[in-house]
Amino acid sequence: MSAFQWPARVYYEDTDAGGVVYYANYLRYLERARTEWFRAHGHNQLALATDPGVLFAVAEVSVRYRRPARLDDLLITSCVAARAGAASVVFGQQIRRGREDGELLAEATVRVVCVDANGFQPRRLPPQIIGDLQ
């Protein structure tokens, strides 16, 4: 099964004075791809915050930067979601240049925890999400 993919263009806003994408901004591409993964699977995160009243909060991020992304690059961010306990999902993500099998620029692992939208306490994953996890 091929991973979910989401494109992003690099604009000036993403770069820094080193001439490449600022290291924190790769996390934006990662989050856009996770958000679109939810949407593509029919889950609206704003709706989930109301019913059943849960948010997905990032608990851990690891990024390995392999090559710099540059101004005007088209980036393809992939996203594979796996269950990790009663309340957690782990996303394996890659950012590649130009196309799905383009040059690997960054690899990331992101663990998100399902939490109560008000109190931020951990909550079991909603059943409708579990079916979409590996």
Q: How many CA atoms lie less than 13 Å away from 20 in the CB half-sphere?
A: 10
Q: Which is nearer to a second copy, 49 or 101 (CB)?
A: 49
Among 50, 60, 82, 100, binds a second copy (CB under 8 A): 60
Q: Give yes or no for residue 19 binding a second copy (CB under 8 A).
A: yes
Tokens of residue 66, six digits: 């392999």
Count residues binding a second copy (CB under 8 A). 37
Burial readout 77-99 (b: 16 or more C-beta within 10 A, e: otherwise): bbbbbeebeebbbbbebbbbbee
Q: Shortest gap between Cβ of 129 and a second copy (angstroms)?
A: 18
Q: How far apart are CA 108 and CA 91, in angstroms?
A: 8
* Residue 62: CB atoms within 10 Å: 9
Q: Give yes or no for residue 116 binding a second copy (CB under 8 A).
A: no
Q: Give yes or no for residue 130 binding a second copy (CB under 8 A).
A: no
Among 1, 2, 42, 46, binds a second copy (CB under 8 A): 46
| Distances from the Cα of 37 to the Cα of 5, 40, 65, 95, angstroms | 8, 5, 22, 15
> Segment 72-101, which members bind a second copy (CB under 8 A)?
72
Residues lying near a second copy in the complex (CB under 8 A) are found at: 9, 11-13, 15-20, 22-25, 27-28, 31-32, 35, 44-46, 55, 57-65, 68, 70-72, 120
